[in-house]
Amino acid sequence: MVTFEAAGAPGTATLPAARVRRIIKEDKDISACGADSLYLISRATEYFIDSLVREAYEFSRLDKRRTVQYKDMAKAVQSIEQYDFLADIIPPVVPLKKPAGGRA
């Protein structure tokens, strides 16, 4: 499991508050969101993104690469149970088959 190390000053989030608030307002079931809730949602999102990217980075390291690619993200989603809800959003890589007749 990958651990998260907080960066930046305490009480601040990296994600833009206005953008997070706009995304929250898209949910019709939420009528209002206070500043403390907005901060907690932003920090939770940062933790989630950091965790997913770190897991994907481990898959890129196994392939002896330093760059995270889509296939690494897909492997992380497919192999780690906590990311099962992302299976429709980040499906596994499907290799293209060579066409019949030998042309590439």
Give the three-class secondary structure for 1.
coil
| Assigned architecture for domain 17-86 | Orthogonal Bundle (1.10)
Q: Is the pLDDT of residue 12 over 90?
A: no
Residue range 94-103, pLDDT digits in tens: 888 766 766 6
Q: How crowded is the C-beta side of 90, counted as CA atoms within 13 Å? A: 19
pLDDT tens across 41-93, in order?
999 999 999 999 999 999 999 999 999 999 999 999 999 999 999 999 999 98
The domain segmentation of the chain, as residue ranges, is: 17-86
Q: What pTM does this model have?
A: 0.75
4 neighbors 50 (Cβ within 8 angstroms) = yes
Structure tokens at 76: 């992380």
